[in-house]
Structure 1
């Protein structure tokens, strides 16, 4: 990847609890927000189950790309946490206890003991179980977790984080600002939109197609509404490089009028 060519960024959410509706995903909107603040944008998202083979197959396809990927969920140490194992399987590598992760988990246990919450003795079964959260695919690097020190991991441009937003979101920010700062605001994009009334979408579609031919790199969009705001309308717009987007917007507004649409809501 070069500074001139920003990578495609994707999000993978792991968890049966999301698919069943027991919990509502919060990562998608936060990822979009964090990327927008840095002049970046999300290129795709997947929601998948906790089943190891499903995760492994998804990651195998993902590792085969040059994309930057954030994966949330399934890196704990209970039986339904299978993401660490699936990542190793997808990469064809073994799992091992990362020494820095082991140190940080031991620090966390010691912190708990000082607060009167358990023991810092790492030989105890419960603490040995906690160490499983530091078992990562061989070659992985840790991702710091400021909330409770138990890290996520990074390998092949994939960042793996817990499902808890209070932990995952700071890890997302750290990764974007530490590993991918060179891509912040690498491409200047702008988005313009307006509402068109008294216009069927089919009538403006040829103009949208012509727009993208005339201004390569500009993407047009059309979002029809059935009238929740009082009048049926289409939210029309363009996004891309500022100068070309402004030209394309002017063209699109003129086309709406030319084919019989209105730029203002009709009077009741």
Structure 2
């Protein structure tokens, strides 16, 4: 049986994020959604609305076994390129998804009924809306509980809108529907200390030794310059495979003792 840990990635697409017009809320929320299921995020990338860059990024990530969530750019306006880029990255044609198109028609009918007006499904604006159901050939739908305009999945890549009110329930649905078998299989433990008035360079050999000795462990170092209330310190710790953390932490403390370092364990 393979012990390979599944890597989960996040791609946030949109010029508005890179320009600062909007502040990304997806990264912290996805971290939270994963943590609630015993999972963790392996990587994240931010990309603007540049078709070539989106295509290149997806071509690279499609070549991995990663589970990837992509937010933004799946609408039907000229600045939305994610659907087309995903198809280009896989070398597949864009095709109208029948159920996706019907979902959009149902939404158009519903809105018209609520507003008390007749609807012409062949009107140019409604035909334009159907482009939101044009996905790479072979795509599967991700239900959108907010307005029924679906996202889409291609293998283990999942594409959802940029709007949090839509994206977050859709990501939860993907996790619970397709990846529940992974829940709590990425269990992680962590133990750390505060090292006072130390230098990271002096700690580096100890950190390298621990990672070489315990392959399932990562050593982290978070320096703080201190302020009027706290001393300068480094949060130094080990995290990873729970079966290895305890032994790695013992070695960490022993190494600090050998250096005569002043440190305090973090509860």
Give the TM-score of the pair, scaled to structure 2: 0.93
Instruction: Say whether residues 1:65 and 2:56 are aligned partners.
Output: no
Instruction: Say whether residues 1:190 and 2:192 are aligned partners.
Output: no
Query: Paired residue for 1:133?
Result: 132
Alignment of 1:32-111 (within 5 A): 32-111=31-110
CA–CA separation in structure 2 for the residues paired with 1:4 and 1:18: 36
Task: Report the secondary structure of 1:101's partner residue.
Answer: helix
Task: Report the secondary structure of 2:100's partner residue.
Answer: helix
Q: Any idea what the Cα deviations from partners look like across 1:159-205, whole Å, max 9, x if unmatched? A: 01111111111111111111111111113221222211122111221
Query: Paired residue for 1:256?
Result: 256
CA contact (8 A) 2:193 2:264 kept: no
Give the deviation of 1:34 after TM superposition. Answer: 1.0
Q: Which runs of 5+ in 2 are unaligned?
A: none
Task: Report the secondary structure of 2:192's partner residue.
Answer: strand
Stretch deviating more after TM superposition (24-33 or 253-262): 253-262
Query: Paired residue for 1:247?
Result: 247
Give the deviation of 1:256 after TM superposition. Answer: 1.9
Stretch deviating more after TM superposition (109-118 or 229-238): 109-118
Tell me: CA distance 1:56–1:218, structure 2 relative to 1, closer, same or farther (3 Å): same
Give the deviation of 1:74 after TM superposition. Answer: 0.3
Task: Report the secondary structure of 2:198's partner residue.
Answer: coil
Stretch deviating more after TM superposition (126-135 or 207-216): 207-216
CA contact (8 A) 1:98 1:134 kept: yes
Query: Paired residue for 1:28?
Result: 27
Give the deviation of 1:7 after TM superposition. Answer: 1.9
Stretch deviating more after TM superposition (250-259 or 100-109): 250-259
CA–CA separation in structure 1 for the residues paired with 2:122 and 2:18: 37
Give the deviation of 1:117 after TM superposition. Answer: 7.1
Query: Paired residue for 1:165?
Result: 164
Aligned length: 264
CA–CA separation in structure 2 for the residues paired with 1:92 and 1:52: 14
Give the deviation of 1:50 after TM superposition. Answer: 0.5
Give the TM-score of the pair, scaled to structure 1: 0.93
Tell me: CA distance 1:217–1:4, structure 2 relative to 1, closer, same or farther (3 Å): closer
Task: Report the secondary structure of 2:44's partner residue.
Answer: strand
Indicate the RMSD between aligned Cα atoms, in angstroms.
1.8
Task: Report the secondary structure of 2:262's partner residue.
Answer: coil
Task: Report the secondary structure of 2:58's partner residue.
Answer: helix
CA–CA separation in structure 2 for the residues paired with 1:86 and 1:44: 20
CA contact (8 A) 2:40 2:186 kept: no
Tell me: CA distance 1:40–1:119, structure 2 relative to 1, closer, same or farther (3 Å): farther
CA–CA separation in structure 2 for the residues paired with 1:117 and 1:261: 75
CA–CA separation in structure 2 for the residues paired with 1:51 and 1:118: 38
Instruction: Say whether residues 1:202 and 2:215 are aligned partners.
Output: no
Stretch deviating more after TM superposition (68-77 or 205-214): 205-214
Q: Any idea what the Cα deviations from partners look like across 1:11-64, whole Å, max 9, x if unmatched? A: 111111111111111111111111111111111111111111111111111111
Query: Paired residue for 2:112?
Result: 113
Task: Report the secondary structure of 2:243's partner residue.
Answer: helix
Q: Which runs of 5+ in 1 are unaligned?
A: none
Instruction: Say whether residues 1:15 and 2:14 are aligned partners.
Output: yes
